[in-house]
Amino acid sequence: MANSGMDPEVFTQFIEQLERYVRERLIPAEEEVLANDSIPEPLVDEMREMGLFGLTTPEEFGGSGMNVPQYIETIRVLGYAMPAFRSIASINLGMVCSALTKSGTDEQKNEWLPRIAAGEIACFGLTEPGSGSDSAAMATTAKRDGNGYILNGSKRYITNAPQAKLALIMARTNDEALPRNAHVSAFLVPMDTDGVSVGKADKKMGQFGSQISDIYLDEVKIPGNALLGGEEGKGFATAMQSLDNGRLSVAAASCGYARRILDTAIKYATERKAFGEPISQFQLIQAMLADSQAELYAAECMLRDAAAKANEGKAIIEAASAKMFASEMCNRVADRCVQIHGGAGYLAEYEAERFYRDSRIYTIYEGTTQILQLVIAKNMLREFSAGIPA
C-alpha cells in the first residue's frame, strides 16, 4: 500500500523553507566546509532542528513520515548545495531508516528510530576491501556466541563512519554462498561497541565535507537482538531494498546538483565576453546549455516516476534506471560547464572545477553504472520470462 506521507500543503511550505535555507545558509557555508573538509557543527545542529534527519521516520517515532516522492523531492532541493549536506543526512533517511522501518522488530524500531530522527548519525556497512556488489565474496562474519554473535571483518568506503553512532552491518551467518544471498544477515551495531574501530578519513577527489573511512570489526560481541528483524539470512534483501532508496537519493542529488551547475554555466556565459559580446550569444555555447537542460528535464521526469513507483513498492528497474541516467547526466552537465568556462573552468577559483570533481562519484556509489546495467537487464529478462508486460 502506498504511503500517503506528509500533508501536501505542509510539505509545500517545508520545501519553500528548505529552498531559502539552502541558498541563505548552506551555499554561503561551502567555503568553510571546503577549507576544513567537514560541516560546521552549528550547521549540523540547524539541520537537526529542521528535522532533516527524520524526514522518512514514521511520525510515531518522532519523524515527519514523508513518503518516497516527498523524500526524494527534498533531497533534490537539498542537492542544490554541495554534496556533503545531503550525505550527512541521507544514510539515516534512505537506507538505515528504510531498513529499520521495513524489517526491524518492534524493539529495534523503538530503540533506534527516535534516535535517528533526532539526528544521531548512522552509516551503512556493505562494501568491503574484496567485495562490493559481489556478496558471495563477503568476508565479514557473524558467528553464533550463545544468544548473541561475534563479528569479525572490515568495511570500506563507508560514508559518515567517522561521525556515526550506529552502523547497519552486513555479515555472513553461513559459510556457504546460498541462493538469494541467504548467507548474509544485517546487524545493528553501536559504533562504541568494544572491538569496533574506524580508520582515518580517506582523502578524496571531491565531495569535501562528506567523510568516508574503513570500519574494522575485531571480535565484536553483540546481543542476539542486534540481528535486524530477528531472522538470519534476510540481510542482503534488506540491503537491496535500502539501496533502491539510496539509488533514488543519488539520482535526486544528481538532479539537484546538475541544476546548480547549469545555473552557474548560464551565469558565466552571460557575463563572459568574447569578440565584443557575451559568449551566451554563440550558438555552440547555446547548444551545450540546451543539451544540458533537455537531459536534466528528462532525469527529473524519470526521478519523479521512479519515486512514485517506489512508494508503491515496485521500483527496482526504475530506481536503477533513474540513478544510472541522472548520475551520467550530471557528469555530462559538469563537463559542459567546465567547457563553457574555458581555461577558467580548470582553475580552482571557479566553481566549475569543483563541480566536475564532485559529480564524478555519482556514477560509482550505490551501484556503478555498469552494475546497474546488469540489474536492469536481469530484471527485464526475469519479467519477460514470467510473462510480465513491460
Grid coordinates given for 52 = 532533516
Would you name the residues annotated as active-site residues? 366
Burial class (CB in 10 A: 0-12, 13-18, 19+), 24: exposed
What residue has cell string 539501496? Answer: 243
Across 237-381, the runs of DSSP E, i.e. the strands, are 273-274, 277-278
Q: Could you tell me the CA-to-CA distances from 311 to 45, 238, 246, 268, 380 in Å, in that order?
A: 29, 16, 14, 39, 20
Grid coordinates given for 362 = 555519482
Q: Could you tell me the CA-to-CA distances from 377 to 316, 327, 368, 371 in Å, in that order?
A: 11, 18, 14, 10
Bridge partners for 277 per DSSP: 274
| DSSP H or E run through 258 | helix 235-271
Side chain identity at residue 351, one-letter code: E
The three-state secondary structure class of 188 is strand
User: Across the chain, how many H-helices and E-strands are there?
Assistant: 12, 9
Q: Do residues 236 and 178 make contact, with C-beta atoms less than 8 angstroms apart? A: no
Quote the CA–CA distance of 77 and 74 in Å, as a whole number.
5
